[in-house]
Amino acid sequence: MRTLIKGGTIATASDLFRADLLIEGEKVAAIGSDLSKLGPFDRTVDAANKYVIPGGIDPHTHLDMPFGGSQSADDFETGTRAAAFGGTTCVVDFAIQPPKGALRQGLDDWHKKAQGKACTDYAFHMIVRDVNKDSLAEMDTLVKSEGVSSFKLFTAYPGVFMVDDAAIFRAMQRTGENGGLICMHAENGPVIDVLIEQALAQGHTAPKYHALTRPPRLEAEASNRVIAFAEVAKVPVYIVHLSAQEALAEVREARDRGVHAYAETCSQYLFLSYDNYEEPGFDGAKYVMSPPLRAKGNEEALWRGLKQDDLALVSTDHCPFCMKEQKEIGKNDFSKIPNGAPGIEQRMGLLWDGGVRPKRIDINRYVQITSTAAAKIFGLYPRKGTLAPGSDADVVVFEPDKEVRWSAKTHHMRVDYNPYEGRVTRGAPSLVFSRGELIVENDTWKGKAGAGKFIKRGAITR
């Protein structure tokens, strides 16, 4: 199959120029002026007045994940299809070590969830909940042979995922030897649990107390702590879902000293705020996620962080739970509301509308924070994350002024609410290609469940 995308503006993390782009089979074959002479083609696309960008990469999703007494509502089929409608063509999802089980078991479980279902390519990180001799040895195997080169550890969720400081430090040292990367959920779980206990004892059961019991200082403290461990272990560390300016200050201070600390933020921390918890009735539960949404003003600090590269990229932490029957579990007790929110479909549109249009970031930075940086940090580059001869033809033809009104009635995620209900964004994909196959044409799904492939990643470049 040969597709010519004609006359668009090619945007990568470094370049912006008008050219044609030729797709042959699964790969980008050529980029240049007037490639029509290389015809015939099976399909020709007129991309005049449109941008041609690398497909988005969302390096933080939780599809089909058991959590908080529930199961995240999107599986690999519905989640990756929704991602594709939004312009994301690769996700890195979190496989989970089962309680007292092996990493191998967790990896096999996640391969089963994804195979035959994923509509776009995907890769895995591994959540390690039990750091011991065996799991440390398994980490080596995952990096070397299984294409899983990043591991998430938690300083939060005691009794579920939290591991102690020594475990974090040992795992970090191991990645110094095996070429992996430790990703940290940084919040002080034990102190948060005391605050939760005290709030409930005072009869504070509403969703907003989820945020009020997880103050930003406790995110900053944990961020500072894990960065210190990484510094002593002489390894890089990647902080996931950074939400608070206090935590960003810790990352910035460390980076200024030359410490190899990366951090991501998520679209919800840029476009929503603590005020959403004050919505009437139980609606605040829609936004119960950890870390929580922060007070207005934080988003400006995060945008600055993105501009200055103290924040490397924007992911979604897509972890949807329906209001009905799922979030409702915590109707009378905020601490029982499953933590997580949807966002996989909106990320690219929100960041264009709120980032590029008001000139907070330029188009190259947009491509970097939605695609290239994730590919580089997580070992997918240059196969993914750019447009160059030989790279996978994960290509988005993007209309800079196309309007989308977000609503649970029309979105493609399998969840019964949309955190951005009623919001209109401008800038959206008109065509999405996954390894050369057209999978989205405006509002029409053209892809196939199961066509997405597992992408093995290599050791992380230091």
- Residue ranges that bind ligand URP, judged by CB under 6 A: 62, 185, 241, 289-290, 317, 319, 339-340
Enumerate the β-bridge partners of residue 440.
432, 445
Q: What's the closest the beta carbon of residue 300 comes to ligand URP, in angstroms?
A: 22
Q: Which is nearer to ligand URP, 172 or 319 (CB)?
A: 319
Q: Which does 339 bind (CB under 5 to 8 A by kind): ligand URP, Zn ion, none?
A: ligand URP
- Binding partner at 252 among Zn ion, ligand URP, none, C-beta below 5 to 8 Å by kind: none
SS3 119: coil
Residues 158-197 binding Zn ion (CB under 5 A) are: 185
Q: Which helix (H) or strand (E) holds 256?
A: helix 245-256
- Nearest to ligand URP of 65, 306 (CB atom): 65
Q: What is the DSSP letter of 358?
A: T
Q: In the complex, what is the shortest distance from the CB of residue 340 to ligand URP, in angstroms, rounded to a whole number?
A: 4
- Residue 92 CB, shortest distance to ligand URP, in Å, is 13
List of long-range contacts for 157-161, beta carbons under 8 Å, 24+ apart: 157/185, 157/189, 157/290, 158/189, 158/190, 158/193, 160/129, 161/127, 161/129, 161/185
Return contacts of 203-206, CB within 8 angstroms, 24+ apart. Answer: 204/334, 205/332, 205/333, 205/334, 206/282, 206/284, 206/334
Supply the minimum distance, in Å, between the C-beta of residue 158 and ligand URP.
Answer: 13
| Residue nearest ligand URP, CB atom distance | 339
Q: What does 113 bind: Zn ion, ligand URP, none (CB cut-off 5 to 8 Å by kind)?
A: none
Q: Which does 289 bind (CB under 5 to 8 A by kind): ligand URP, Zn ion, none?
A: ligand URP
- Binding mask of the shown chain, residues 330 to 369, with x at each position contacting Zn ion by CB under 5 A: ----------------------------------------
Name the amino acid, one letter, at 445.
W
Q: Which residue has the tokens 């994909």?
A: 429
Q: Which is nearer to ligand URP, 6 or 62 (CB)?
A: 62
How many other CB atoms sit within 10 Å of the CB of residue 308? 11
Q: Minimum Å distance from CB 59 to Zn ion?
A: 10
Min dist CB 174 to ligand URP, Å, is: 22
**Minimal distance in Å, beta carbon 289 to Zn ion?**
8
- Is the distance from CB of 311 to CB of 278 less than 8 angstroms? no
Q: Which residue's structure tokens are 């206990």?
A: 197
Cis peptide before 429 (omega within 30 of 0): no
Closest CB to Zn ion among residues 185, 327:
185
3-state secondary structure of 213: coil
Residues contacting Zn ion: total by CB under 5 A: 2
Compute the least distance from the CB of residue 289 to ligand URP, in Å. 4
Which residue, among 449, 446, 402, has the nearest Cα to 428 in the 3D structure? Answer: 402
Nearest CA-CA partner of 49 in 349, 402, 366, 404: 402
Alpha helices by DSSP H, listed for 298-401, are: 298-307, 347-351, 363-367, 373-377
Q: Which does 375 bind (CB under 5 to 8 A by kind): Zn ion, ligand URP, none?
A: none
CA distance 252 to 309: 9
Residue 439 binds: one of Zn ion, ligand URP, none (C-beta under 5 to 8 A by kind) = none
CA-CA-CA-CA dihedral for 425, 427, 431, 432, to nearest 10? -80
Residue 146 or residue 317: which is nearer to Zn ion going by CB? 317
Q: Which CB atom, from 340 or from 447, has the smaller least distance to ligand URP?
A: 340
Closest to ligand URP by CB, 129 or 241: 241
344, 86 contact by CB (below 8 A): yes
174 binds, among ligand URP, Zn ion, none (CB under 5 to 8 A by kind): none
CA dihedral 228, 231, 236, 242 (to 10 degrees): 20
Considering the complex, state which of residue 57 and residue 440 has its C-beta at the smaller distance from ligand URP.
Answer: 57
Match 């929110």 to its residue by tokens: 341
* Nearest distance in Å: CB 111, ligand URP: 20
Smallest gap from residue 415 Cβ to Zn ion (A) = 16
Binding to Zn ion by residue 383, rule CB under 5 A? no
Instruction: Decide which of Zn ion, ligand URP, none touches 397; Cβ closer than 5 to 8 Å per partner kind.
Output: none
Q: Which does residue 58 touch among ligand URP, Zn ion, none (CB within 5 to 8 A, set by kind)?
A: none
Shortest Cβ distance from residue 184 to Zn ion (Å)?
Answer: 9
How far is Cα 143 from Cα 178, in angstroms, rounded to an integer? 7
238, 316 contact by CB (below 8 A): no
Nearer to ligand URP, 151 or 352 (CB): 151
* Residue nearest Zn ion (C-beta atom): 185
Residue 293-332 contact track with Zn ion, rule CB under 5 A, x = bound: ------------------------x---------------
Residues lying near Zn ion in the complex (CB under 5 A) are found at: 185, 317
